[in-house]
Structure 1
Amino acid sequence: MALCTRSLCCVLLSLFAGLASGLEITSTGSTSIDKASGLSVKLDCQFSLAPEDSGPLDIEWSLVPSDNQKEEKVVILYSGDRSYEDYYAPMKGRVHFNSADPKNGDASINLTGLKSSDSGTYQCKVKKAPGIRTRKMLLNVMVRPSKPRCYTEGPTQEGKDVVLRCTSNEGTKPLQYSWEKTSDSKLMPASAVLDPLGGTINVRNASASASGTYRCVATNPVGTEECILYLNVTPPSNIAGKIAGAIIAVLLILIIIAIILFCYCRARHRKKYEKEICNEIREDVPPPKSRVSTARSFTVGSQRSSLGSMSPSNLHEYALKPQYDKIPSSEEYERPPSRTPLPPPTAAKMAGPNLSRMGAIPVMIPAQNRDGSIV
């Protein structure tokens, strides 16, 4: 019971001391600030003192965690008429007091080179015995939208649904997207459906009038970026004609290949045949015709001279002998050696009396060999 009474007394004394002190936070500005990354921000904390506030002045800025179970992180400190600006390592060199002498009533700080990790709730605590006053501010460091990329999805043909898409890879959400047509009549297609959060335009049953230049703008509270897209809606393609053309082209290629192969095989076969013909050995080539006529005249002359010296008795024997000295005809010279030569014709048997009747003169014919020489 005594312990509870002592605690209650301490609380009442502190409340009384707070009411009795003249320390006040005089800043009345917004307690929520949105800033783009890379920029600078001022966190305002103005205060006033009274004569009864006679204790030492302490100013402390801390980053309050979202989880109450975690400890506060002191960012910058002023105590004993001295500033401690490099107190928090992640913000070293980026946080400073706005005034060179904060005890004059300006406890504001400047934070430069903002990062997305700097976002959070900051608390300004001013202590001068017997009074303590605090002020909290919410800092939201946002990333500007990066330059968006504009493109189309699906076929851009008449009668099809054409989707225009705009996407920014960087930027603090939520991002808002807006589309506008900048060419021709600057009127969006009547069938266009816009999604400002997704950044798309769905043009249903697109027609040629939907063609033109479009601009997309990506926006968030700290900046805007835009991109340009040119849409060209084309007539539907003739798929059947393309297929027929492809088939004809393939057939022509196959025909050309077949012709090339045929010509190659034929040339190869002809070359092989000519090679075989050149390798054949030809025999018994007939002599020139001039030699035939000379041999014939020589043989006929010799025969006539021989017949002039033959007697009637020898004429019969000559008639019975095979006429080996007969000159072969041109056909016999040109006949291939593989064929069997025909036997020489035999002279008809004629009796001596018959020859006398015919007026023949008996002449002795000497015997001759195959070459026509006299034996």
Structure 2
Amino acid sequence: MFREASPKSHKRIPWFWLIFIVSTILTSTCGLNINSSLSRYYVARGDSVSLKCEFTLAPEDLCQLEIEWFLNSADIREEDKSLIWYVNDRIHNRHDGFHFSSPDPQDGDASLTLKDVKLTDTGTYQCKVKKAPGTKSKIMQVMVMEKISKPECGINGDVKMGNKLRVNCSVLQGDHPIQFHWEKITGDRLFPENRTHFDSIQGDLYIKDLQATDSGTYRCTAANSVSEEYCDLILLPASSSAVTINIIVITIVVIITAITITTVMISGYCRRKFRIETFQLLPYKWMIGKRRGQHSAEDDSMNVVLKSWIQLESGEDPENPVCVHSDGHE
């Protein structure tokens, strides 16, 4: 009839599988889950950032909620650093500069805000949410970088039609990797594919066989993961004849300026010399005679010369002298 099963045919479920099944059922009953998907953050030094850690709970969950943030140590021999902890409806802030983004994390937002970040804040952060018997955690990478400075645009080469030109774009400050991009923002905005090439790593723009259609304003944009800056450059290719005419005009202007300056200097020198020579013509004895009250016909001549010299010295025109009467009025 029926055959009795032997003891060897009866299979028992191993105890560790039993624990796993029960734990899974209890965890799913609690319904704990972290919904945030972003796991990598790039932040500029001095800025603020919010590391997202949003979670959901099932209505029937009655276990105590605990939230804790860690900064994972790069050395496996060292313990992770606890930054902030939420338990029993209280927040325990263990390090300055780290705060929960929400004033009440139990509402489902356990995000962490970092303010005025420093380069040393770069690292691996872990958000751990526990509602026994379930526990969920999320790992996030934070990279703090230096913003790039405003780039400088420059031209290497002679800006003549038909020439080959290199337009460079350089950044003095900022963390790499830095990407460069050139664009023409005025006129014909298309780059001739067979005559232009740009290096997105070094920031150089090469233009060969320069044409009149290449005239316009060019913009170089430099960017890294946390910042973006740009500089503009105006390019005006000139023909050989135009360059020659410009050189001739500049030369003429320089010559005329030099002649004018020389004439003014010579005129001033002659005027000073005339004053000195005029004064030296006054005989010493005439001056002595004047002091003694003597007067002669020679004095009248000397008076004319002396008067002219005085007028020149005061800036008056000897041909149109200013007459001063004895009462002091002109």
TM-score, length-normalised on structure 2? 0.56
Q: Which amino acid aligns with 1:101?
A: Q
- Per-residue CA deviation, residues 199-222 of structure 1 (Å, 9 max, x unaligned), is 342445644432212233444456
Paired residue for 1:65? 73
Paired residue for 1:40? 50
Mapping of residues 249-260 of structure 1, within 5 Å: 249-250=257-258, 253-254=261-262, 257-258=265-266, 260=268
Paired residue for 1:236? 243
Mapping of residues 65-144 of structure 1, within 5 Å: 65-79=73-87, 81-91=88-98, 94-96=99-101, 100-101=105-106, 106=108, 109-112=110-113, 115-117=116-118, 118-126=121-129, 134-140=137-143
Mapping of residues 216-365 of structure 1, within 5 Å: 216-221=220-225, 226=230, 228-234=232-238, 235-236=242-243, 239=247, 242=250, 246=254, 249-250=257-258, 253-254=261-262, 257-258=265-266, 260-262=268-270, 264-266=272-274, 268-275=276-283, 278=286
Alpha-carbon offset, residue 44 of structure 1: 4.0
Output the CA distance in 2 between the equivalents of 1:223 and 1:266.
Answer: 71
Q: Give yes or no for the alignment of 1:196 onto 2:197.
A: no
Conserved? CA contact 2:179–2:200, under 8 Å = yes
Task: Pick closer, same or farther for the CA change 1:242–1:69 going to 2, 3 Å.
Answer: farther
Conserved? CA contact 1:21–1:50, under 8 Å = no
Q: Give yes or no for the alignment of 1:183 onto 2:193.
A: no
Conserved? CA contact 2:68–2:84, under 8 Å = yes
Output the CA distance in 1 between the equivalents of 2:262 and 2:79.
Answer: 82
Q: Moved runs in structure 1, 4+ residues, more than 6 A?
A: 13-16, 47-51, 128-131, 142-146
Conserved? CA contact 1:64–1:122, under 8 Å = yes
Q: Give the 3-state SS of the residue equivalent to 2:189 in structure 1.
A: coil
- Per-residue CA deviation, residues 76-105 of structure 1 (Å, 9 max, x unaligned), is 2233x33325233221xx324686537xxx
Output the CA distance in 1 between the equivalents of 2:16 and 2:250.
Answer: 91
Aligned residues: 259
Output the CA distance in 2 between the equivalents of 1:245 and 1:139.
Answer: 62
Alpha-carbon offset, residue 64 of structure 1: 0.7
Task: Pick closer, same or farther for the CA change 1:129–1:251 going to 2, 3 Å.
Answer: closer
Alpha-carbon offset, residue 274 of structure 1: 4.7
Alpha-carbon offset, residue 240 of structure 1: 7.1
Alpha-carbon offset, residue 35 of structure 1: 5.5
Task: Pick closer, same or farther for the CA change 1:204–1:66 going to 2, 3 Å.
Answer: farther
Output the CA distance in 1 between the equivalents of 2:16 and 2:84.
Answer: 26
Alpha-carbon offset, residue 121 of structure 1: 1.6
RMSD: 4.8
Q: Give the 3-state SS of the residue equivalent to 1:236 in structure 2.
A: helix
Q: 2:153 aligns with which of 143, 151, 154?
A: 151
- Per-residue CA deviation, residues 97-137 of structure 1 (Å, 9 max, x unaligned), is 686537xxx5x522346554454322233556677654423
Task: Pick closer, same or farther for the CA change 1:98–1:110 going to 2, 3 Å.
Answer: farther
Conserved? CA contact 2:127–2:139, under 8 Å = yes
Output the CA distance in 2 between the equivalents of 1:133 and 1:279.
Answer: 115
Output the CA distance in 1 between the equivalents of 2:265 and 2:53.
Answer: 83
Q: Give the 3-state SS of the residue equivalent to 2:188 in structure 1.
A: coil
TM-score, length-normalised on structure 1? 0.50
Identity of aligned residues (%): 25
Conserved? CA contact 2:153–2:231, under 8 Å = no
Paired residue for 1:368? none
Output the CA distance in 2 between the equivalents of 1:229 and 1:241.
Answer: 26
- Per-residue CA deviation, residues 169-198 of structure 1 (Å, 9 max, x unaligned), is 56x643323221122221225543322234
Task: Pick closer, same or farther for the CA change 1:165–1:214 going to 2, 3 Å.
Answer: same
Task: Pick closer, same or farther for the CA change 1:127–1:18 going to 2, 3 Å.
Answer: farther
Give the structure with higher Rg (CA): 1
Paired residue for 2:4? none
Conserved? CA contact 1:213–1:230, under 8 Å = yes
Conserved? CA contact 1:176–1:197, under 8 Å = yes
